[in-house]
Amino acid sequence: MSGFSAELIDYLEGKITFEEFDRRREEREAKQQQDDEDDAQPSTSSQALAKTEEGVSPVVQQAFASMLAAHASSEEEEEEEDSLSYVDDKDDDDYMVEEEEKVEGVERRPRRRAKRKKDKDQQQEAENPTVGDVFALEMELNRENKKMMKERRNRSKLPRALRGLMGEANIRYARGEKEDAILMCMEIIRQAPLAYEPFSTLAMIYEDGEDVDKALQFGLIAAHLNPSDCEEWIKLAEMSLEQGNVRQAIVCYTKAIKYDPTNMRYLWERSSLYMRLGEHKQCMDGYRRILALLPHEDGEHFMQLSKDMAKSYFESNDLPSALGVVEKALVRHPNLVSDDIINMAAELYIANHQYNMALQVVVQFSGVVLGRAEPKADSTPRTEGPKEEEKTTVAEEEKKDGEDAESKTEEDKAPAELGDIIEVHVPDSVPVDIKAKLMVSLIHQHMYEPLEGLMADLMQQCPEQVGDLYLDVGEAFLEEGRYQSALPLLSALVTSNKYNLAVVWLRHAECLKALGHMEVAADSYSKVVEMAPQHLEARLSLSALQQQLGRPLCALKALEPMYDADTLAHDSAAARKELKLLLHRSTLLKTHGRVQDYLDAEITMISMLLKVAMQRAQVSVRSVIVSGERHLRLVKVKDMSDIDDQEAAYQDINGKTSVLSREEWWQLLLSCVRTLCDVQRYKEAELLVDSAMEFFSFYDNKPKRKELEFFGLSATFLDNNFRKAYDYIRLMVMDNVDHPQLWNIFNQLTYNSQHQRHHRFCLRLMLKNPDNHALCVLCGHNALVSGSFKHALGQYVQAFRTHPNNPLYSLCVGLTFFHMASQKFVAKRHPLVLQGFSFLWRYVELRGECQESMYNLGRALHQMGLVHLAIHYYHKALTLPVERLEGIASDQVDLRKEITFNLSLIYQASGNMEMARQLINTHCII
């Protein structure tokens, strides 16, 4: 590079851009031209340009030559390194060649000096390359770099200095000195870890010593360092199979196939290993590659392999792939198509609902002749002049392509150009299997006229031998709604010994049901249930038929449980089938009014959904005997064992209960809770609500959670579990403080529960909602009961100010004043009594003279000791009629018993026992 300018060297090294290089070159040329004019010497740039050949100057040519020479010399050195002469010997040919090169080198020295001088002159003559020269040089350098990077040489990476040691190790191994050979190989590996020779030698040593594991490991390392040796990979694959490592053997075969992709034996062995592992797709991919590599002369193997592949694809439910293999075989070797291939192709086309293609295959390869009627006149559209010319052109093109015209069969034409099939001529040599496929294809294309002769031939065959063909044709008739034609075939099958199967009886029952023979169809369905007790569709159909025939008990018997508890716990498919059966059974039981049995079915279904939730709520399903019958009950269990993996349990439940949607499960749950309440099983309804609240899908849904809370409140209240009902109502009133009905229920619960824990709750809630009227009155009642009369008076006065015309608050304020006046230590007793009577008379004015107002007035006078006035108002209350209130029974608002009892107390205190007894006997009789 000494002949190049400084800017060219910088540009090639990437230090400057091309624009900077061009600018510097122009500046240098201008400066050199000025110096040459001063020195009166000619410029050399024009000479260099004159010697440019084909746009590339001698400088660039020289650079290319030097680069290629250096590349060639490096290749020669690498080839020399590839030689495996580990010990120099004078008798060796390589040694003699080196000596000859030394002698020739002496003679070539003057010649090389002359060449170097000539090159130096050329470099001096072409010191200034052009822009085109630079681009050409750069492009060539890039091409050479890419070429060198893409080269993959499988040469030895063992340094020349270690080849002698490697040879010595091989010699020691050959002499039986294995320990020394191993040490030498380990030393070579330490110094040259990328050389494969020591690993290969170690593999042979350990294999000879029957240490197969180490031999396999060292052999794999050597193979990875020298991957192009296919035989080594095959040997390692066989060793891996001996060790039972099929996956590693597949990797070895894959490596061998990579470097020898056309070796069918490697592909076959790898495909067999894939099949052993159950990896069907990879196995079939290998067989496809073998089919592509098989020569045309090896047609028998091609057809046999294609048949096996199609069968394997069909068993794995991959119909498109199976059809692709069979179609390729039919096109490639039409002369080698056997009856098995024809039968398989027709069966695949029928399974894929390509009935016309199945018919074409049978006609093309079996010699079957179809007789067609002439097409209808209106089915073929008439064409005028231009279209006739187009037809002529198409005919000429088809005539030119003779092979395509011959291969085109009658069935390839458009359906509008063909008439209906009226007869079929089948050679006697055609097997009955292919005849059956022909019949199925005709049936699905609604060609029933030519089937008479074929049906007669089929019916002459023994059903014990060709019963599967009977069933195929019969099912084809059933699919097309030709039940009358299918019935003889199915009847022949059910009376046979070999094909007296549940599936045949099922088709027979479906055919009879479609024809309206209900009694016989029910018998056939019963036969199906007897032979296959776990067939869900047969059970449902049998139950529906028995229901139509007016046999409800037989219909319920058909819907009895199919599986035991252990099977349902471990088999998701069985659980889903059992759920469907229970759903139909529960509907039927509810229709017939068998409520207890209906609840058993509902509880069984819901317990399958809420299995984990019931575990968390400590609820279990138990079987008990009620009135001589066994039924299911929900009970509380304290010592239930927890489920270890609840996440896995939830996933298992989701798989089993996917038969119904979450909304359907929700409606089922509500129906069960309502029915439990209707039969007064409130405790079980409460436990069911508790379990549902532990189910995340219901609890996370706020509307459903609120509805469950209302159901739980009703169930606990009706079950007299007021403590738990208080927990429900407490949450409800916190969310809906202004809801009057909730406060009414709250008052009933606190009244029946007889505990005072709601006092503090009301006070805390009053602090958050000071303007709530219901809370104000309730806190006043709580304070009055607990003896805090001043606090009660404050709450009542607040309620009186907001609702002054409500008689209740006047009564409460008056009674509070009376209680305060009745205390032992009171400073102003008489003003309290006057204020109390003033509010009490206001109450009487607002309420009017009725039994209630007179009784309250008499009771207040009685409390203050004014018994003569109290007697007057008590007797006045007894004379007044009982009020009629809507929704409340009259005996619940009748106060005569309370009035009589208070009067009797007054008379007893005065000594008038006769009057007291008379009042009691008159009004207090139960």
Looking at per-residue pLDDT, the higher value among 535 and 84 belongs to 535
Cα–Cα distances in Å, from 213 out to 170, 199, 202, 253, 824?
Answer: 21, 14, 12, 19, 106
pLDDT value at position 80? 42
pLDDT of 161-185, one tens digit each? 888 888 888 898 888 888 888 999 9
pLDDT value at position 428? 84
Both tokens of residue 590?
A: 């509810």
pLDDT value at position 349? 92
Confidence of residue 383 (pLDDT cuts 50, 70, 90): very low
Q: What are phi and psi of 632, to 5 degrees?
A: -100, 145
pLDDT of 733-743, one tens digit each? 888 888 888 88
Element housing 432 (H / E): helix 432-444
Mean pLDDT of the residues in the chain: 80
pLDDT of 386-398, one tens digit each? 333 333 333 344 4
Q: DSSP secondary structure string, 529-575?
A: HHH-TT-HHHHHHHHHHHHHTT-HHHHHHHTS--S-HHHHHH-HHHH
- CA angle in degrees (0–180, nearest 5) for 268-272-275: 140
Q: Measure the CA–CA gap between 293 and 286, rounded to whole angstroms.
A: 11
**Token pair 């189910």 in the structure block, residue:** 695
User: Sign of the CA dihedral 835, 838, 841, 846?
Assistant: negative
% residues pLDDT > 70 (the chain): 79
> In the predicted model, what is the mean pLDDT of residues 880-893?
80
Q: Are 796 and 842 in contact (CB under 8 A)?
A: no
pLDDT of 752-787, one tens digit each? 877 777 888 888 888 888 888 888 888 888 888 888
CB contact set of 130 (below 8 Å; sequence gap of 6+)? 49, 52, 57
pLDDT value at position 73? 44
DSSP state of 56: B
pLDDT value at position 919? 87
> In the predicted model, what is the mean pLDDT of residues 476-486?
91
pLDDT of 331-364, one tens digit each? 888 888 889 899 899 999 999 999 999 998 999 8
Q: DSSP secondary structure string, 282-303?
A: HHHHHHHHHHHHS-TT-HHHHH
**Token pair 């002159």 in the structure block, residue:** 121
Q: Are 919 and 907 in contact (CB under 8 A)?
A: yes
DSSP state of 339: H
> In the predicted model, what is the mean pLDDT of residues 469-498?
91
Q: Are 333 and 304 in contact (CB under 8 A)?
A: no
% residues pLDDT > 90 (the chain): 21
pLDDT value at position 660? 85
Q: Measure the CA–CA gap between 160 and 83, rounded to whole angstroms.
A: 9
pLDDT of 495-535, one tens digit each? 999 888 999 999 999 999 999 999 999 999 999 999 998 89
pTM of the model: 0.61
Q: Are 860 and 840 in contact (CB under 8 A)?
A: yes
Element housing 239 (H / E): helix 230-242
Confidence of residue 541 (pLDDT cuts 50, 70, 90): very high
pLDDT of 598-631, one tens digit each? 999 999 999 888 888 888 888 988 888 888 888 9
